Amino acid sequence: MTAPRGQLVVMSGPSGSGKTTIKNKLAQHPRIKLAISVTTRPQRNGEVDDKDYHFVTREEFLAMNEQGRFLETNDVFSNGHLYGSLRSEMEAALADADCVYLMEVDVTGAHNIKDATNDGTYVFIAPPSAEVLEQRLRRRATDSDEAIERRLARAAEERRQAETDGSTIVVNEDVDQAVRDVLTLIGLEANAGSPR
């Protein structure tokens, strides 16, 4: 008889969908543990190594990949910065039957994790519409018009991929409602925010 395991939840969504905000709110639940990705991109002001990301050099990342330490890897934004999810961290978290291990990845990452584990609940955070997504991306003022057009085209492709892969689509019209929807989907009470 196998020991009970924790629950794997994999969340994806396009840039501007609000998935990071939703992830951070979900992290306030006492049973949810956030996965920390490994990345080769430079550390930004205010980011903490081993809390926001595990920051490594490209050489370190490639060596880790060769050692089979990643569950999935990706050049998420096609800009040369690599991202990966550590297999050992997932296994350690899921060894605790009460743990809900939440991974935030892109759609390709979610597809690859599903292939690698054949386990988990997959959630795709979708904007209410392409128009709302465009407004959110423009409000951020971090991308050129061309980059926004690319992100919008990619968002439609990502949703199609998520649906094909069997992800549950959660529309983020209101962040708090989307958080409640995800908590319900994964079998946690929305109001159980007090620490263990």
pLDDT in tens, the chain (196 residues): 667 899 999 999 998 899 999 999 999 999 999 999 999 999 989 999 999 999 999 999 999 999 999 999 987 556 688 999 999 999 999 999 999 999 999 899 999 999 988 899 999 999 999 899 899 888 887 778 888 898 898 999 999 999 999 999 999 999 999 999 999 999 997 654 433 3
Buried b / exposed e over 131-142, threshold 16 CB at 10 Å, is eebbebbeeeee
pLDDT at residue number 193: 44
pLDDT at residue number 177: 96
Please identify which residue in the block is written with the tokens 């994806």. Answer: 12
User: Would you kindly state where each structural domain of the chain is located, as residue ranges?
Assistant: 7-185
pLDDT at residue number 155: 92
Instruction: Identify the three-state secondary structure at position 36.
Output: coil
Please identify which residue in the block is written with the tokens 């054949």. Answer: 118
Please provide the CATH number assigned to the domain covering 7-185: 3.40.50.300
pLDDT at residue number 159: 95
Residues paired with 169 in a beta bridge: 124
Instruction: Identify the three-state secondary structure at position 97.
Output: coil
Longest dimension (CA), the chain: 56
Q: At what angle do helices 145-164 and 130-140 cross, to 10 degrees?
A: 140
pLDDT at residue number 78: 60
In the chain, which ranges are continuous DSSP H helix? 19-26, 58-66, 87-94, 107-117, 130-140, 145-164, 175-185
Write out the two tokens for 172. Answer: 């983020």
Give the pTM. Answer: 0.87
Write out the two tokens for 183. Answer: 């908590």
